[in-house]
Amino acid sequence: MLKWFRRKFKKKTEETPSAEGTSPETPVQETSSPEPPPPETPSLATPVTESVAPSAEEAAEEKKLWDRFKKGLTKTRERLREGLAELFEVDRLVDQAFLEELEELLITADIGIETVNRLLEPSRRKLLLGEPLKVSELKRSLREEILRMLDLPTPPFPPEASPAVVFFIGVNGVGKTTTLAKVAWHLKERGFSVLAVAADTFRAAAIEQLVTWGERVGFEVIRQAQGADPGAVVYQGLEAAKARGVDVVLVDTAGRLHTKYNLMEELKKMVRVAGKVVPEAPHENILVLDATTGQNAVSQAKLFGQAVRLDSLILTKMDGTAKGGIAITVAHLFRLPIRFVGLGEKMEDLAPFEPRAFVQALMP
């Protein structure tokens, strides 16, 4: 369960996270603790809590996450259920008309046509060969194909670098700054020290928003005045992170239209600056997408991917849309693992993505 989301140290079960009382310096002190030797690197992806009733803790975490997905995907599930309930009600033999009706229903959940065709390909092949196919078999096949699309190889997070540099990329209005703060909260809960870089120097109040989040969650923000060169802010932030021994640097970039050439060039420049200060940085570029925009997210992923390397996705506002199928589409088309999905307003509602929980919540 969530083997990709590693911990730095064992979290005491009696500790209660606080949004306000956390000092940015406290996690930094933890960097003096010895890291696991290289041969044991894969174990970093597994929570250190294994020594204390791992099965009970993992089961509790899994159930909590599955319940959160079920609640957050209610709108998409209900839209699918309205049509699927009638289609799947009787375990009869499937015909071409049945598949056409199912295709329309999947598209209404914002699963793209190319992805829908791939999902239904095994069933269509059976019909073409004249093999009998029952509704129960089709449903099982559909779930397996969705899971196959979503269950991609997922590198450990945060990346295993010191410091690990993560860029948050996307258009205006997708919630990058808030998402960054929630990721910072998750990282601090897992024992990592976090520093944020306010490289969005264009949007009014963007710097102040990130500083406010830093005060609430407990991480330091490196910033300059509004209108400053974003590359210079990135440089300053990464130098500060190196000097202070910070584990993870989260870089908030300006929201930019993916169709604006000059702004995309500015993003490329920031990436180059990061690589000069920290070897191989940024170690992960996360594209933040608003799930409510539906298929527009596909064009955003395509064009941002042409400008910079994309490593993973975060889908926000998943709880506010009946178009949750977009998660399947972007994962299928771009082969990018989904790190988190937004299922509510609270910190913990930015849920680490678990493909099986997602599929179970979408198609029980």
* Residue set of the binding site: 170-177, 252-256, 316-319
Q: Is the dihedral of CA 12, 52, 65, 153 positive or negative?
A: positive
> Could you tell me the end-to-end alpha-carbon distance of the chain, in angstroms, rounded to an integer?
19
Whether residue 216 contacts residue 20, with contact meaning beta carbons closer than 8 Å, is answered with yes
Which of 144, 190, 143 minimizes the C-alpha distance to 27? 190
Distance between CA atoms of 357 and 364, rounded to whole angstroms? 10
Could you give the angle at the alpha carbon of 213 between the alpha carbons of 212 and 219, nearest 5°?
105
**Three-class secondary structure of residue 134 per DSSP:** strand
> Binding site for GTP: which residues?
170-177, 252-256, 316-319
What lies within 8 Å, CB to CB, of 1 at 6+ separation is 58, 61, 62, 65, 354
For residues 274 and 287, give the distance between their C-alpha atoms in angstroms, rounded to a whole number. 17
Bond before 158 cis per omega within 30 degrees: yes
357 near 65, Cβ under 8 Å?
A: yes
